[in-house]
Amino acid sequence: MTGITYEDFLDLDYEPVASDLVCTFTVQPASDMDMDAAASRVASESSNGTWAELQVDGTITDLSATAFGIDGNTVQVAYPEELFEAGNMPQVLSCIAGNIMGMKAVDRIRLEDCEWPEGLVTSFMGPQFGSAVRNDIFDAGERPITATVPKPKVGLSTDQHVQVGYEAWTGGLDLLKDDENLTDQSFNRFDERLTESLAARDDAQDETGEKKSYLINVTADANTMLERVDRVAEEGCEYVMVDVVTCGWAAVQAVRERCEKHGLAIHAHRAMHAAFDRVPTQGVSMRVIAQISRLCGADQLHTGTADLGKLANEDTVGINEWLYGDLYGTNDVLPMASGGLHPGLVPELVKRVGTNIGVQAGGGVHGHPDGTHAGAKAFRQAVDATVEGTSLEEYAEDHPELKVAIDKWGTETPR
Ligand SMILES: O=C(COP(=O)(O)O)[C@H](O)[C@H](O)COP(=O)(O)O
Ligand SMILES: [Mg+2]
């Protein structure tokens, strides 16, 4: 490597080969650097280079990345596949989204998109079910599957939580979901909640004749998570929920492997994603976070509401298309729309993102003037009306729960 400097990582004529991982970055160079120099430093620092001209003798495998496409502030970088350890997402991210995120050669840098080569993709487990959960686990046909998260997020006792679940399931929803910050706290213990919720789930299934399931949040340190996954399988549930960003991709990969053994699906909550993707000039895009989630094996992933709900969303439509798209035979991912949804928003949501989704509402179910059971009915009615192509106003004429919900919220976007 003697005499190699970071300028050697730029080749504007380079044409990537099929085995390269190609990443697209938005880069704002430091004030004393031009774009070519900044792009070379990105390719250098994220592969095998550093700031200094090295004086290291001997034969060393060349794992240099190449910055090759510069267009305004967009830079493409191609990485040779030998740079990466197969099936090791933390290692991949330590390259392509590691030191470069804080490097002084750039004022701002954002990883926008990746083109993943086949060898790297197939070294990961990918989703076990993906959108097939709609009919492998449920019998939802072409309609979106439906879920609710009890509110308040935390503070309900186990008995209260289970009662909310029972009312939601019997009101017509498919899934009860824990909130992202509910795990195993003193007021609502994991083991008790698991057992009692599944007993209520069984009752709700008997009463309604519909399949029901529970997204219990197993998020914890990796060892504890694996124990929780085993418990969930023993108790006869079909899913676990994981806060994939806060617990980290290594832990998600460990959970995915254990879920293979049990035939459990993974619901991925993305709490903290906005720390990486909300600033448009810095970080890692939600698109890339979604790609990582698919490779690591999430079956369902929150991707937002196409701007209809309470939270900022980045390109829900484009990300969902990527999650459904062909990826060397890897299963797809079912996008979950959530965050400030209520019955009145369902028709426009389906218009924007289609029916191959999950729809999830917390406040939009438990804030119904007549309570959770009526709220669940109203949310399911909104989904059924939308799928059969009937307007909510017309459907509400003989569905009083829906009528109360649309009288209360109309089509408002909550804050
Ligand atoms: O608890 C909720 C929604 O509750 P409510 O329905 O009361 O707003 C989820 O945590 C958000 O969907 C997360 O956001 P996103 O889905 O965008 O990751
Ligand atoms: Mg939540």
Res 350: pLDDT: 98
Find out whether the beta carbon of 172 lies less than 6 Å from any atom of ligand 1: no
Mean pLDDT, residues 263-270: 98
Give the distance from CA 287 to its chain's centroid.
Answer: 9
**CA-nearest residue, atom 14 of ligand 1:** 339
Distance CA 83, CA 67 (A): 15
> What six digits make up the tokens of 152?
């308040």
**ipTM, interface predicted TM-score of the complex:** 0.97
Res 2 pLDDT > 80 = no
**Does residue 376 register a pLDDT over 90?**
yes
pLDDT in tens, 235-258: 999 999 999 999 999 999 999 999
Q: Which atom of ligand 1 is nearest to the CA of 304?
A: 17
Annotation-wise, does 180 bind a ligand? yes
Can you tell me the mean pLDDT for 390-394?
98
pLDDT at 58: 80
Q: Among 48-57, 71-80, 140-149, which stretch is predicted with the lowest mean pLDDT?
A: 48-57
5-14, 166-175, 311-320, 351-360: segment of lowest average pLDDT? 5-14
On the question of pLDDT at 7 being above 80, the answer is: no
> Above 80 in pLDDT, residue 4?
no
List the Cα angle 90/316/251 in 5-degree steps. 25
299-347 pLDDT, tens digit each: 999 999 999 999 989 999 999 999 999 999 999 999 999 999 999 999 9
Average pLDDT over residues 385-413: 97
Q: Is the pLDDT of residue 389 over 80?
A: yes
Residue 339, marked binder: yes
178 lines ligand 1 (CB under 6 A): no
pLDDT for res 53: 84
User: What's the full length of the chain, in residues?
Assistant: 415
Q: What is the pLDDT of residues 190-243, one digit of tens each?
A: 999 999 999 999 999 999 999 999 999 999 999 999 999 999 999 999 999 999
**Catalytic residue, candidates 161, 212, 267, 269:** 269
Residue 61 pLDDT greater than 90, yes or no: no
Q: Is 343 in the pocket of ligand 1 (CB under 6 A)?
A: no
Mean pLDDT of the chain: 96
Reported confidence tier of residue 54, pLDDT bands at 50, 70, 90? confident
C-beta 375 within 6 A of ligand 1 = no
269 belongs to the catalytic site: yes
Pairing of strands 239-243, 213-215: unpaired
Res. 5: pLDDT tops 80: no
Residue 3 scores a pLDDT above 60: no
Q: In degrees rounded to 5, what are phi and psi of residue 92?
A: -60, -45
Phi, psi of 232 (to 5 degrees): -60, -40
Give the C-alpha separation, 394 to 320, whole Å. 30
Predicted pLDDT at 211: 98
288 CA distance to ligand 2 centroid (A)? Answer: 21
Does 340 appear as a known binding residue?
yes
Q: List, in order, residues 6 or more apart from 201 with CB less than 8 Å away.
A: 165, 169, 176, 212, 213, 214
- With 60 as the cut, is the pLDDT of residue 1 above it? no
User: Binding site annotation covers 361?
Assistant: yes
The span from the CA of 148 to the CA of 359, in Å, is 8
3-state SS track over the chain: CCCCCHHHHECCCCCCCCCCEEEEEEEEECCCCCHHHHHHHHHHHCCCCCCCCCCCCCCCCCCCCEEEEEECCEEEEEECHHHCCCCCHHHHHHHHCCHHHHCCCEEEEEEEEEECCHHHHCCCCCCCCHHHHHHHCCCCCCCCEEEECCCCCCCCCHHHHHHHHHHHHHCCCCEEECCCCCCCECCECHHHHHHHHHHHHHHHHHHHCCCCEEECECCCCHHHHHHHHHHHHHCCCCEEEEEHHHHCHHHHHHHHHHHHHHCCEEEEECCCHHHHHCCCCCEECHHHHHHHHHHHCCCEEECCCCCCCCCCCCCHHHHHHHHHCCCCCCCCCEEEEECCCCHHHHHHHHHHHCCCCEEEECHHHHCCCCCHHHHHHHHHHHHHHHHHCCCHHHHHCCCHHHHHHHHHHCCCCCC
Q: Please identify, by atom number, the ligand 1 atom nearest to the C-alpha of residue 337.
A: 16
Q: Which ligand is nearest to the CA of 368?
A: 1
pTM over the 0.95 mark: yes
Percent of the chain residues topping a pLDDT of 70:
99
Confidence at residue 56, expressed as pLDDT on a 0 to 100 scale = 87
